[in-house]
Amino acid sequence: MTAPIVALDTRLLRVPLTRPWGEDVRDLGVIAVTVRDADGALGHGFSWTPTIGAEAVQALLDHDIRDFALGRPADAEPLWDDVWLRLHEAGGGGITTIATAGLDLALWDLAARRAGQPIADLLGRRRFETEAYGSGVNLHYSLEELVAQTERWVAAGFGAVKVKVGSPDLARDAERLAAVRSILGPDRRLMIDANQRWDVPTAIRALDALAAFDLAWIEEPLRADDLPGHVALRAALSSGPRVPIALGENLHTAYRFREFLDAGVVDVIQPNAVRVGGITPFRRIAALAAERRVQVAPHLLTELSGRLAMTLPQECLVEVVEDASFGELGALAAPAPVEVVGHRLRDTATIGLGLRFAGGPDDEDAASAGVAPLAAARP
């Protein structure tokens, strides 16, 4: 019988971004979560959000989730459903699922550490490496900065890259993509991400103009929750440029992924393992995609997404945002559990999730960590 949870502690960190994602996005909020069961086994997980909402996420963990989880078996999958049913009164997704991820990841880490296995082995490993692509949050970059970034990706060996679009002036997007494509050459893949900036007519006009750059996908062309809009866009594109549509970083439950998949409006789904609530729902979403033969490309969180990618039926692209992994930002207390070599991302087979954040009570290197603790673990 699985031992019950006897403790859940949190610690809020601010991790400065080396390359700000915009004027108002200069750091990441990380809530490090530790659970302990009655046998003394520990599991380490985390919740995550860029800049906004970290304090609210920690409050949910410290009160509603902790109060509900204590005394229950430390078994991630059945507990996830119980926690979600309780929390959805405060919202079916978003802050509630982000907070739930902290507990879910910690419980999966506990199970893997107890078994003495890397998380991919516990879940069912299919490979030790997968393809990575270079990604940048770069719409605010000058053309010269964007060109230099693309040249770095090519020099590093990436065979696929993603850049932001959605400028007020479509001609600016076209000029930037022309420069990027000229550096990439004809054989490397180019993806673009509009970050929900367009409506349907704008997306149609933009893709008609930008499809000439041989796009591997357009990511989030419309507001993420606009299913009717995506249906209309798919219909319009059926007689126009065939640009695959990617989305999912801002869908928060398997129910919403199912709706978009069943509507046939998406070619690549991009679940963010924290935003959807952890490994438990991530696996369910990946299973839905496999049933419908839709590609999965996990969103952000390279050290977590990369290890989950090793368990998926088909090899997939894993996003590597320049200078934004936890390891590169100095947020980890030990080496990252994955490494990028050329265009390949490799699992180092670290036991458990392999993600311990710097500055914790048992971290001897806390004084030199590049993160700032905002709150100690709460009683």
Residues 106 and 202 in one domain: no
Residues 207 and 293 in one domain: yes
Positions annotated as catalytic residues are: 164, 299
DSSP state of 378: P
Burial of 40 (0-12, 13-18, 19+ CB in 10 A): exposed
CATH for 276: 3.20.20.120
- Residue 89's φ and ψ, nearest 5 degrees, are -65, -25
Q: Which two tokens stand for residue 29?
A: 């909020």
Dihedral class, residue 238 (left if φ above 0, else alpha if ψ from -120 to 50, else beta)? alpha
Q: Where does the chain show beta strands of DSSP type E?
A: 5-16, 27-37, 42-50, 129-135, 160-164, 189-193, 215-219, 245-247, 268-269, 295-296, 317-321, 338-341, 344-347, 372-375
The answer as to whether 190 is a domain residue is yes
In angstroms, the CA 99 to CA 205 distance is 38
Residues 187 and 110 in one domain: no
In angstroms, the CA 278 to CA 275 distance is 7
DSSP state of 118: B
Which of 17, 96, 99 is CA-nearest to residue 50? 17
Domain boundaries, position 303: 121-347
Residues 86 and 127 in one domain: no
Residues 151 and 168 in one domain: yes
Residues 83 and 131 in one domain: no
The answer as to whether 277 is a domain residue is yes
Burial of 156 (0-12, 13-18, 19+ CB in 10 A): middle
Residues 99 and 128 in one domain: no
Q: Which two tokens stand for residue 294?
A: 């839709």
The answer as to whether 352 is a domain residue is no
In angstroms, the CA 26 to CA 191 distance is 24
Structural domain count, the chain = 2
| pLDDT of the residue at 238 | 84
Residues 148 and 95 in one domain: no
Check: CB of residue 350 under 8 Å from CB of residue 338.
Answer: no
Residues 153 and 285 in one domain: yes
pLDDT of the chain, 379 residues: tens digit per residue: 799 999 999 999 999 999 999 888 999 999 999 999 999 999 999 999 998 999 999 999 999 999 999 999 999 999 999 999 999 889 888 999 999 999 999 999 999 999 999 999 999 999 999 999 999 999 999 999 999 999 999 999 999 999 999 999 999 999 999 999 999 999 999 999 999 999 999 999 999 999 999 999 999 999 999 999 999 999 998 887 789 999 999 999 999 999 999 999 999 999 999 999 999 999 999 999 999 999 999 999 999 999 999 999 999 999 999 999 999 999 999 999 999 999 999 999 999 999 999 987 655 333 333 334 443 333 2
The answer as to whether 310 is a domain residue is yes
CATH for 10: 3.30.390.10
Q: Which two tokens stand for residue 139?
A: 């719409």
Which of 281, 365, 301, 295 is CA-nearest to residue 330? 365
Residues 86 and 144 in one domain: no
Which of 263, 243, 267 is CA-nearest to residue 255? 263
Calculate the CA dihedral of residues 305, 199, 26, 90 and round it to 10 degrees: -70
Residues 181 and 109 in one domain: no
